[in-house]
Structure 1
Amino acid sequence: MDACWRRAPGTGSPTAVVDDTGMADRERARVPVEAGVSHAVFADRSGPVVRLRFFTAAGELPACGHGTLAAIAVLEAWEDGAGADEWRLAAAGREFAGGTTAEGAWFDAGLTRHRVPGGVAPVLDALGAVPAGPVLAAGTARERLLVPVAPGALGPLAPDAGALAAACDAAGLLGCFVYAAAGERRFDARMFAPSIGVPEDAANANSVAALAGVLAQDGPVRIVVSMGEGLKAPSRIRAEASPVGGGAARVRLSARVGPPRDLL
């Protein structure tokens, strides 16, 4: 599936979705490599709650936003006209709702939190970015560094992947989500996560959720984030966030997903 699709060939983040039949984890980690994608999601439909697991070539991830969106779109395709448009899902130790509308797939991304981190100078050095505002650690399941930059500084970024992986590991971060304003509540962004085997991600929905949660502290917001331009896989992700107090926000993510295509 092309998650976070822009309704045109060659857009979105290619993601493998597998009907989970009890594969070993080492076999799951091979799927992204064999499919030629960065991420694979495995859906266990044996019970009333669909359980999702996410893998890159480097191993299992606790969560994956664009993988969840891709899985929801495939669940609809697997229903084969049965009419289901909402499911109970489980991942990262929680149950949540997800479904489809005319605008695409959506799911409840849960609560996001953020904080001002310390000791991230090595991360910024490896990233090669000059922040244009406060740098925050934020996330739903695992923190990543949110780094605002000037619009003209986003495209030329060329991080040292090895140094960035080491610095993020030392700081306990998934990676770096670098973003720039592109309009009213619209942003361009790039996500670098070499620690999990993804030097750059074409679409990272959970990072969009983290950014929306930060922006929602003064009231509900809806943002649109474009990614993947430099990877020739342009993607687009929407997030709606509402504050719930204590620096937390509840976020709903949505995006279009391209038509499914068989790998075999």
Structure 2
Amino acid sequence: MRDGVAPTVTVVRACLRDGAGGSPTAVLPETGLSDRERRAVPALLGTSHAVFVSLAPAGPVSADVSLRFFTTTGELPACGHGTVAALAYLAAPRETTGGHGDALGPADHSPVTLRTPGRVFTGRVGRVGREFRAAFDPGPVTVREPAPDETVPVLRALGLDADPLAVDAHVATLGRPRLLVPVSARSVLAGLAPDLDRLRVACDRLGLLGCYVYHGPTADGRVPGDSRRGRVAARMFAPSIGVPEDIANANSTACLAAHLARAGTTDLTVDMGDALGVPASISTTVRDGDSGPLVEVGGAAVVDRVVHP
């Protein structure tokens, strides 16, 4: 690291399911590292992503926060579970994180202004026991039907070219486009073993971030008596950004929520990570806006460990 001094890193498990699992995410204060050094952090900590956090000049009680997200391949314009992790990190006690803890004051779900290189948006976080419950506005989502040449190479790489539901894939854009792919059975989802090299080539050629494959919601996945609510299982493959499979992907879940809201599902819970042995869950709500669906996405998080230099 710069000048031979490594920063203190807090590892937060974001998007827990019933208090377990969650995606380990490295969170650390902005310290002026080079982009090459930032890319090294996930590999050094054994996480898929790293989030760099800086507070506005107003001081340590400021609720104005800037975020940058990195994988081993480079910077991302956004990261949903990374945002959940950053909000938990900022609300956790300072003695727990060794960094910007307590920056938000009492964790009472009051709004927090979040800034990334591409946009300014709002998040909130509250504490329930040892967990932090965070949610945020991921931004506008657009969904469209793809052309055949946008799906065929991707479905072949996924091994889904014969699945009867996969042909109903859609391209959803939230910052970057990704392919939402439904499958006909939970067992199909669990058994996926994509050709990751072939998938990376196809996604790179089409400009896709990756592929979000899901099963549901079905009649079994809905809350009895309330057709607005659904529960889905999903897997996210993104080899183009150095993440063969994501434990939790909140922004792609927000894309799916916007897509399913057109059929009346306004409250959605998505389970991920089972194929990796690390359960995770992400929750969304959708309401109508003047220019399209307004999505809020979030999950529970805990501080897992602090790595000191």
Q: Give TM-score, length-normalised by structure 1.
A: 0.93
Match of 2:299 among 242, 255, 262: 255
Instruction: Give the Cα separation in 1 of the matches to 2:164 and 2:239.
Output: 20
Hey, what's the Cα distance between the residues in 2 that align with 1:131 and 1:94?
Answer: 38
Deviates more, 1:251-260 or 1:170-179: 251-260
State how far apart, in whole Å, the 2-side matches of 1:208 and 1:199 are: 17
Aligned to 1:162: 197
* C-alpha distance in 1 between matches for 2:177 and 2:70: 18
* Structure 2 counterpart SS, 1:110: coil
Aligned partner letter, 2:206:
A
Q: Any gaps of 5 or more consecutive residues in structure 1?
A: none
Q: Does 1:212 align with 2:257?
A: yes
- Alignment partner of 1:261: what SS? strand
CA distance in 2 between partners of 1:98 and 1:24 (Å) = 27
SS at match of 1:41: strand
Q: SS of the residue aligned with 2:188?
A: helix
Q: How far does the alpha carbon of each residue in 1:187-237 deviate from its partner, in whole angstroms, 9 at most, with x for none?
A: 000000000000000000001000000112255601000000011111000
Deviates more, 1:123-132 or 1:28-37: 123-132
Structure 2 counterpart of 1:3: 14
SS of corresponding position for 2:262: helix
Q: Is the 8 A contact 1:18 1:43 kept in 2?
A: yes
Which runs of structure 2 are paired with 1:192-211 in the superposition (5 Å)? 192-211=237-256
Matches within 5 A, 1:127-146: 127-129=158-160, 130-132=163-165, 134-146=168-180
Aligned residue number for residue 59 of structure 1 = 74
Deviation at 1:244, TM superposition (A): 3.0
Native 8 Å contact 1:217 1:243 kept in 2: no
Change (3 A) 1:115 1:8: same
Shift of 1:76: 0.4
Question: In terms of Rg, which structure is larger?
Answer: 2
Secondary structure at the aligned position of 1:170 is classed as helix
Instruction: Please name the residue that 1:179 is paired with.
Output: 214
Could you tell me whether the CA contact under 8 Å between 1:3 and 1:13 is conserved in 2?
yes
Alpha-carbon distance in 1 for matches of 2:173, 2:164: 19
Unaligned runs of 5+ in 2: 1-11, 93-100, 223-229
Q: Which residue of 2 aligns with 1:74?
A: 89
Give the aligned CA root-mean-square deviation in angstroms. Answer: 1.8
The 8 Å contact of residues 90 and 103 in structure 2, kept in 1 or not, is answered as: no
Structure 1 residue 157: Cα displacement: 0.4
Describe the shift of the 1:139–1:92 C-alpha distance in structure 2 as closer, same or farther (beyond 3 A).
farther
CA-CA distance at 1:136 after TM superposition: 0.3
Distance 1:19 1:125, change over 3 A: same
Is 1:43 matched with 2:43? no
Does 45-54 or 27-36 show the bigger shift? 45-54
Tell me the CA shift for residue 82 of structure 1.
Answer: 2.9
Aligned to 2:98: none
Corresponding letter in the other structure for 2:156: D
1:236 is matched by which residue type in structure 2? S
Instruction: Confirm or deny that 1:113 pairs with 2:124.
Output: no
- The offset of 1:135, in angstroms, is 0.6
Structure 2 contact 90–104 (Cα < 8 Å) conserved: no
TM (norm. structure 2) is: 0.80
**How many angstroms apart in 1 are the aligned matches of 2:141 and 2:293?**
5
Deviation at 1:80, TM superposition (A): 6.8
2:183 match: 149
Alignment of 1:86-125 (within 5 A): 86-101=111-126, 102=128, 104-118=133-147, 119=149, 120-125=151-156
Count residues in correspondence.
262
Q: C-alpha distance in 2, partners of 1:92/1:160? A: 33
Distance 1:23 1:121 in 2: 41
